[in-house]
Each structure stands twice: as structure tokens, then as C-alpha cells.
């Protein structure tokens, strides 16, 4: 039985289910049954139902008549559309952020990259992935634009599943860390022209992996 504090119980349950999907413990098309989840989390069906609605609103699960709630099975087009949106938003955030970032924010980015490099050396892949999550969110904090942050947060949860798959190999993580490092150096040097090609390279590499894993 998984235990939680009472604060935002349904959100905590939703986050745990989302993590299980990201880590491949729950597969696309797999049915999520309220009674089973209620037993697993040791709670009534009400917060479970609410958690599933949260996940549905985030595009992580889907509700299908006569089948119930299933882990969403994305098509190739949906995945490519998702990456198009995320990377275009990232480019906007970096372009605006280059004009507004503080030295404190820049130092925080370098600190995260250093930690990421250390986790790769010790082969702590899951921790490295979590640090990448933190770093990408911090990129969206640079412009001090709450609309951009909100847009990214809305698509981030569904993007996380595919990012985890595309970075599951240590060599992919190493390349990704190096590219993030190049992005931060470009920010520091106020050279935006170097950033779009780096983002395009990251996106293309990820999609070349994912197109083999998703349905047409």
C-alpha cells in the first residue's frame, strides 16, 4: 500500500501514476481500474477518480466508452506535434530569457549541469533525468513570463513520457547534457544564433528514436 499525506491527495496519486507511466511500469493502452488503484493507494475511490480526471485533463490517460480509463496511446503525428510545440516554446523562452536572466539564474543552470554530469558518472540515470526536468523548467523561468511557464507546464507532463523513452540510454543522456551545456554557454555569451540548431538537433534525435516506438 502506498501512503501519502492528506494534502492534495488526488494530485499526489496522479503524480505517482504519471511517474509509473513515464518509467514504463504502465503501458500505453493499459486499463486503470479504480478498485485496484483504491487498494494500491489505500484510499477511497473518490480521490482515485479525481486523480484520473487530472491525468485525463493533462492528456496522459483517456476515457473510452465501454472500456474505461486507459493510458493514452499516442500516434506518431501526435508525438511529432507535441515535440514541435515544446521546442518552439523552448526557443521563445530562451530568446526572451537571454534578455532578462540574472547571474543567480545562470549559476543555478550551471550547478544543475554539474550535478547531471556527476549522476552520469555514477550511472544514476533516474536522478539525471529528474535534473534534466528541473533544468528545462528553469529555462522557462528565465523570461519571467507566467504565460510561457503555464503553457510549458500544461504540455510537460505528456512530453515527459516520451522524453524519458528517448533519453533512456546513457549515451543519449550524455549528448543531451552536453547540448544543454552549450545552450547555457550561448545564453551567457548572449549568442542566440547558436541555440536554434542545438534545439533542432535535440528534437530530431529524440524523434528518430520515438518514431520506432509509436503507432502511425
Q: For the chain, what are the domain ranges?
A: 9-71, 76-210
Question: Does residue 213 carry a pLDDT above 70?
Answer: no
Using a cut of 0.85, tell me whether the model's pTM lies above it.
no
Answer yes or no: is pLDDT of 7 > 50.
Answer: no
Residue 196: its pLDDT value, please?
Answer: 97
pLDDT of residue 215: 64
Residue whose cell numbers read 523548467:
137
- Listed residue (127, 134, 140) closest to 173, CA to CA: 127
* Superfamily classification of domain 76-210: GntR ligand-binding domain-like (1.20.120.530)
Residue that wins the pLDDT comparison between 22 and 150:
150
Q: Which three cell numbers stand for residue 89?
A: 516554446
Long-range contacts of 135-138 (CB under 8 A, 24+ apart): 135/109, 135/180, 136/90, 138/105, 138/108, 138/109, 138/112
Q: Give the model's pLDDT for residue 126.
A: 78
The predicted-structure confidence for 35-80, as pLDDT tens digits, reads as follows 999 999 999 999 999 999 988 887 789 999 999 999 988 888 989 9
Q: Which CATH class is domain 9-71?
A: mainly alpha
Q: How far, in Å, are 36, 56, 169, 196, 203 from residue 163 at the CA level?
A: 28, 19, 11, 19, 10
User: Which band of pLDDT confidence, cut at 50, 70 and 90, is reported for residue 11?
Assistant: confident
Which of 14, 23, 48, 20 is closest to 34 using CA atoms? 48
Amino acid at each position: 500500500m502506498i501512503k501519502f499525506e492528506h494534502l492534495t491527495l488526488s494530485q499526489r496519486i496522479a503524480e505517482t501514476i504519471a511517474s509509473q507511466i513515464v518509467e514504463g511500469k504502465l503501458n500505453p493502452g493499459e486499463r486503470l481500474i479504480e478498485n485496484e488503484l483504491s487498494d494500491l493507494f489505500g484510499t477511497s475511490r473518490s480521490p482515485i477518480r479525481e486523480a484520473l480526471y487530472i491525468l485525463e485533463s493533462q492528456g496522459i490517460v483517456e476515457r473510452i466508452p465501454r472500456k474505461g480509463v486507459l493510458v493514452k496511446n499516442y500516434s506518431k503525428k501526435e508525438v511529432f506535434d507535441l515535440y514541435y510545440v515544446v521546442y518552439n516554446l523552448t526557443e521563445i523562452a530562451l530568446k526572451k530569457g537571454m534578455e532578462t536572466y540574472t547571474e543567480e539564474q545562470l549559476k543555478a543552470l550551471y550547478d544543475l549541469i554539474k550535478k547531471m554530469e556527476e549522476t552520469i558518472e555514477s550511472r544514476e540515470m533516474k536522478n539525471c533525468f529528474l535534473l534534466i526536468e528541473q533544468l528545462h523548467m528553469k529555462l522557462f523561468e528565465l523570461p519571467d513570463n507566467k504565460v510561457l511557464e503555464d503553457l510549458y507546464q500544461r504540455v510537460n507532463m505528456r512530453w515527459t513520457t516520451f522524453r524519458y523513452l528517448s533519453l533512456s540510454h546513457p549515451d543519449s543522456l550524455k549528448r543531451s547534457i552536453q547540448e544543454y551545456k552549450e545552450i547555457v554557454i550561448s545564453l551567457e555569451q548572449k549568442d542566440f544564433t547558436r541555440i536554434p540548431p542545438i534545439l533542432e538537433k535535440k528534437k530530431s534525435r529524440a524523434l528518430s528514436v520515438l518514431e520506432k516506438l509509436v503507432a502511425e
